[in-house]
Amino acid sequence: MRAILILLLTFSISLYSREVVVNVKKEVILHSVPRIGLNVSGRVPKMWHSWVLINCYNNNPGMEGIIHRFMVEVSKGGSDWFEEVKWAKYPNFRKELPDGYWNGCRYVVMYGNSYGRKGIIKSYKYVGNKKSKDSFKAVFKVKEHGKPFKNGDRILLIKDYMPCICGWTLELGKGVERKDVEIYPDNTDCAPVNGGKQCIKIVLKKDGVAALRQWIAIEPQSKKSKRRFWKRFDPEKEYVLSAWLKGSKGCKGILSLSKWKDIKEGKWNEDTTLMVNLEEKWKKYEIKWRGDPFPSRKGFRSIYVGIKGKGWIKIDNVVLYEADEKPFQIRKEIIDELKRMKPGCLRFWGATWDEGFENFLAHPLERQCKRHREFIRNYSLPNLSQSLKLCKEVGAVPWLIIGPSFTPEEWDSLLEFLNGPKESKYGRLRALLGHPSPWTDEFEKIYLELGNETWNWMFSPWVLQPPEVCAEFGNKIFKRVKSSKYYSRKIKLIINGWAVSGRWNGKVDNLCDYHDMIDITSYIGVKEIMNKNLEEKEIFKRILSFPYRKIRVRIEELKRVIEKNGKGTEIAIYESGPSYPLPGPGKPFDERVEYFMKSVAASIATLDSYLIAMENGVKTINFFSFNVGPNWATHTIENHKLKPYIIFTLFSFFNNNIAGKNLVKCEILNNHFYEVKIERGKKSKYFKKYKIPAVACYPLEDKNTYSIILINRSIDEKVE
The DSSP code for 231 is B
Per-residue pLDDT averaged across 98-123, rounded? 95
Hey, what amino acid is at 601?
A: A
| Domains, the chain | 67-162 (2.40.30), 169-322 (2.60.120.260)
Q: Considering only 200-204, 287-291, 541-545, 672-676, which range has the smallest mean pLDDT?
A: 672-676
Phi then psi for residue 364, to 5 deg, are -55, -30
In this predicted model, what pLDDT tens digit does every residue of 599-628 receive, in sequence order?
Answer: 999 999 999 999 999 999 999 999 999 988
| Other CB atoms within 10 A of residue 221 CB | 13
Give the model's pLDDT for residue 91: 47
Burial of 343 from C-beta contacts in 10 A (0-12 / 13-18 / 19+): buried
Confidence bin at 51 (pLDDT 50/70/90):
low
Confidence bin at 143 (pLDDT 50/70/90):
very high
Confidence bin at 362 (pLDDT 50/70/90):
very high
Instruction: Please tell me whether the peptide bond between 579 and the residue prior to it is cis, using omega within 30 degrees of 0.
Output: no
Q: Considering only 79-93, 98-112, 497-511, which range has the smallest mean pLDDT?
A: 79-93
Give the model's pLDDT for residue 75: 92
In this predicted model, what pLDDT tens digit does every residue of 237-260 receive, in sequence order?
Answer: 999 999 999 999 999 999 999 886
Give the model's pLDDT for residue 44: 42
Helix (H, G, I), strand (E, B) or coil at 120: strand
pLDDT at 233 over 90: no
Confidence bin at 46 (pLDDT 50/70/90):
very low
Give the model's pLDDT for residue 49: 44
Confidence bin at 264 (pLDDT 50/70/90):
confident
Per the CB < 8 A criterion, the answer to whether 497 and 451 are in contact is: no
Burial of 280 from C-beta contacts in 10 A (0-12 / 13-18 / 19+): exposed
Confidence bin at 268 (pLDDT 50/70/90):
confident
% of the chain at pLDDT higher than 90: 69
pLDDT at 544 over 50: yes
Q: Considering only 10-24, 137-151, 154-168, which range has the smallest mean pLDDT?
A: 10-24
Give the model's pLDDT for residue 265: 74
Give the model's pLDDT for residue 274: 95
How are the residues of the chain apportioned to helix, strand and coil, as percentages rounded to the nearest 5? 25, 35, 40
pLDDT at 192 over 70: yes
Confidence bin at 122 (pLDDT 50/70/90):
very high
In this predicted model, what pLDDT tens digit does every residue of 628-641 receive, in sequence order?
Answer: 888 899 998 887 88
Q: What angle do CA 156, 159, 160 make, to 5 degrees?
A: 115
CA distances in angstroms from 391 to 351, 362, 419, 446, 652, listed in the order given: 16, 18, 16, 10, 17
Give the model's pLDDT for residue 513: 96
pLDDT at 375 over 70: no
d(CA 341, CA 253): 46
The DSSP code for 486 is T
Q: Considering only 356-360, 684-688, 695-699, which range has the smallest mean pLDDT?
A: 684-688
Give the model's pLDDT for residue 1: 45
Give the model's pLDDT for residue 603: 96
Give the model's pLDDT for residue 216: 80
Per the CB < 8 A criterion, the answer to whether 412 and 484 are in contact is: yes
Per-residue pLDDT averaged across 79-103, rounded? 74
Q: Considering only 224-228, 333-337, 381-385, 536-540, which range has the smallest mean pLDDT?
A: 224-228
Element containing residue 647 per DSSP (H, E):
helix 646-657
pLDDT at 68 over 50: yes
pLDDT at 370 over 90: no
Per the CB < 8 A criterion, the answer to whether 353 and 372 are in contact is: yes
Q: In terms of DSSP bridges, do strands 446-450 and 491-496 run parallel, antiparallel, or are they unpaired? A: parallel
Per the CB < 8 A criterion, the answer to whether 417 and 424 are in contact is: no
pLDDT at 376 over 70: no
Instruction: Please tell me whether the peptide bond between 461 and the residue prior to it is cis, using omega within 30 degrees of 0.
Output: yes
d(CA 341, CA 655): 7
Per-residue pLDDT averaged across 434-456, rounded? 97
Give the model's pLDDT for residue 15: 43
Per-residue pLDDT averaged across 474-480, rounded? 98
pLDDT at 325 over 60: yes
Give the model's pLDDT for residue 501: 77
pLDDT at 408 over 60: yes
Per-residue pLDDT averaged across 272-300, rounded? 88
Per the CB < 8 A criterion, the answer to whether 68 and 370 are in contact is: yes
Confidence bin at 230 (pLDDT 50/70/90):
low
Please provide the average confidence, as pLDDT, over all residues in the chain. 89
Helix (H, G, I), strand (E, B) or coil at 711: strand
Confidence bin at 48 (pLDDT 50/70/90):
very low
Per-residue pLDDT averaged across 211-225, rounded? 68
> Greater confidence, 232 or 21?
21
pLDDT at 563 over 90: yes
Confidence bin at 45 (pLDDT 50/70/90):
very low
